[in-house]
A and B are shown apart, each in its own frame.
Chain A
Amino acid sequence: MDQQPHQEVTTEDVPTKHELSELTHHAETEQVGSTVFDTRNISIYYGSFRAVTDVSLSIYENQITAFIGPSGCGKTTVLRTLNRMNDLIPTARVEGDVQYRGESLYAPHVSPVAVRRRIGMVFQKPNPFPKSIYENVAYGPRINGERKKARLDEIVERSLRQAALWDEVKNRLKSSGLSLSGGQAQRLCIARTLAVEPDVVLMDEPCSALDPIATGAIEDLMQEIKSRYTIVIVTHNMQQAARVSDRTAFYSVLRNEQSDVRTGVLVEYDLTERMFQNPRDPRTQAYVTGRMG
Chain B
Amino acid sequence: MTSHSARADSAGIAGSARALAERRPLGDRVFQALALVAGLLVLAILVLILVSTTQQSTTWFGKEGITGIFSTTWDPAHNKFGALTFIYGTAITAVIAVILAVPVSVAIALLLTEVVPYRWARPIVYVIDLLAVVPSVVWGLWGVQVFAPWVLPHVYAPVARALKGVPVLGNLFGPSTSGAPSGPAFFTAGLILAFMITPIVTSLSREVIATVPTIDKEGAYALGATRLEMIRGVVWPHSQGGIVGAVLLGLGRAMGETIAAALVIGSSTQITSHLLSPGYSMPAVIANQFGEAFGEFRSALLGIGVLLFLLTIIVNVLARAVVARNVQRTRGA
Whether A and B touch directly in their complex, counting CB atoms under 8 A apart, is answered as yes
Residues of A within 8 A of B (CB): 83, 85, 88, 90, 113-118, 120-121, 123, 125, 127, 129-131, 139-140, 143-144, 178, 189, 192-193, 196
Question: Does B123 sit at the interface, judged by CB under 8 A?
Answer: no
Cross-chain contact A129 with B219 (CB below 8 angstroms): yes
- Tell me which residues across on chain B come within 8 A of A85, comparing CB atoms: 218, 221-222
Q: How far, in whole Å, are A121 and B224 apart by their CA atoms in the complex? A: 10
Cross-chain contact of A127 among B213, B224, B226, B229 (Cβ < 8 A): B213
Cross-chain contact B218 with A192 (CB below 8 angstroms): no
Secondary structure at chain A's binding surface: helix, strand, loop or mixed?
A: helix
Residues of B within 8 A of A (CB): 117-118, 213, 215-216, 218-226, 229, 233-234, 237-238, 333
Given contacts A127-B213, A127-B218, A144-B224, could you give 16 more A-B pairs where the C-beta distance is less than 8 Å?
A113-B226, A115-B224, A116-B222, A121-B218, A123-B222, A125-B215, A129-B234, A130-B333, A131-B237, A139-B220, A143-B223, A143-B225, A143-B226, A143-B229, A192-B219, A196-B224
Q: How far, in whole Å, are A127 and B214 apart by their CA atoms in the complex? A: 10
Q: Write the chain B residue with the least CB distance to A202.
A: B222
Cross-chain contact B237 with A193 (CB below 8 angstroms): no
Distance in angstroms from B238 CB to nearest chain A CB is: 6
Q: How far, in whole Å, are A115 and B223 apart by their CA atoms in the complex? A: 9
- Tell me which residues across on chain B come within 8 A of A144, comparing CB atoms: 224
Distance in angstroms from B233 CB to nearest chain A CB is: 6
Cross-chain contact A192 with B216 (CB below 8 angstroms): no
- Tell me which residues across on chain A come within 8 A of B218, comparing CB atoms: 85, 88, 121, 123, 127
- Tell me which residues across on chain A come within 8 A of B117, comparing CB atoms: 90
Asked, given contacts A85-B218, A129-B216, A130-B333, whether A192 binds B224 with beta carbons under 8 Å apart, the answer is: no
Q: How far, in whole Å, are A88 and B215 apart by their CA atoms in the complex? A: 12
Q: How far, in whole Å, are A85 and B333 apart by their CA atoms in the complex? A: 24
Distance in angstroms from A215 CB to nearest chain B CB is: 19
Q: How far, in whole Å, are A192 and B218 apart by their CA atoms in the complex? A: 13
Asked, given contacts A90-B118, A129-B233, A130-B333, whether A113 binds B224 with beta carbons under 8 Å apart, the answer is: yes
Q: How far, in whole Å, are A129 and B223 apart by their CA atoms in the complex? A: 12
Distance in angstroms from B244 CB to nearest chain A CB is: 15
Asked, given contacts A123-B215, A139-B220, whether A129 binds B225 with beta carbons under 8 Å apart, the answer is: no
